[in-house]
Amino acid sequence: MSRRSRVAALVALLVPGLVACGHHSSSGPSSTEFLVRHNAQFNDGRTVRWPDLPVRVATNGLGTADEVTAWTSATGGAVTFALVGGPIGGGVNMRGTGSTDICGVTTVEYGSDGVITSADVALSLPIYRGPQCVRTVTHETGHAIGFLDHTSDGGLMDDDGGNGQFTSEVVQTIQYPLALATGTYRGQGERPRLGLEPRGRRTLVFVTYPRRR
């Protein structure tokens, strides 16, 4: 089944049974192409990242430190986090919802300068810990730190959570922007429009897990 990108950074993992998801095996795009596809294309080819580390995260009792800092281990320390009491402004906030068909939805707000200013992670309380939702907190944290689309490589950032593992290209897509100045141009590509909501000089991207068809 082909995977259509539906991004407003709605990174939602689809609950099995609602959609059929296949995994592709291929050599995949180059690292730069992958970065553009899953990050920079949402800002007209310029990279999107948090301006400073550590990224402040308020789990509000919905996620554990290990689920968030899994990204620190996976990226070799390229991204770090400060877990704080919340809710907070200017960081990542987690909150609960009553949805029974979406494991989680992340909304990322950033400016044309490529600076992420906030991320809202909405977790479905009835199911996000259930067997139909794969590592939801870690998956949504990936969106909140700048992975703005889903993959089809069988790993954690697939729109069904895949096997729950970090793939090398996903890790590089988080590492690479953090090593560059914010808003570094990496290639135009075709900017998706669906799910992107301009807000003055800022843009909201919604990523839904699983992705709605």
Residues 134-143: tens digit of each pLDDT: 999 999 999 9
State the pTM of this model: 0.81
Give the H/E segment covering residue 142: helix 136-144
Q: In whole angstroms, what separates CA 199 from the centre of its chain? A: 20
pLDDT for position 24:
28
Q: Which residue is associated with the tokens 């390229």?
A: 78
| pLDDT higher than threshold 90 for residue 148 | yes
pLDDT for position 14:
36
Higher pLDDT, 113 or 142: 142
% of the chain residues with pLDDT over 90 = 52
pLDDT for position 203:
60
Dmax (CA) of the chain = 43
* pLDDT mean over 48-74: 97
In a domain, 101, yes or no: yes
In a domain, 3, yes or no: no
In a domain, 1, yes or no: no
Q: Which residue is associated with the tokens 């700048």?
A: 146
Number of domains present in the structure of the chain: 1
In a domain, 94, yes or no: yes
CA distance 163 to 87: 31
CA distance 44 to 53: 24
| pLDDT higher than threshold 50 for residue 1 | no
Q: Which residues of 43-61 are buried (b: 16+ CB within 10 A; e: fewer)?
A: bebbbbbbeeeebbbbbbe
End-to-end CA separation in angstroms for the chain: 12
pLDDT for position 210:
64
Mean pLDDT score across all residues of the chain = 79
In a domain, 2, yes or no: no
The CATH number linked to 57 is 3.40.390.10
Contact 141, 67 (CB under 8 A): yes
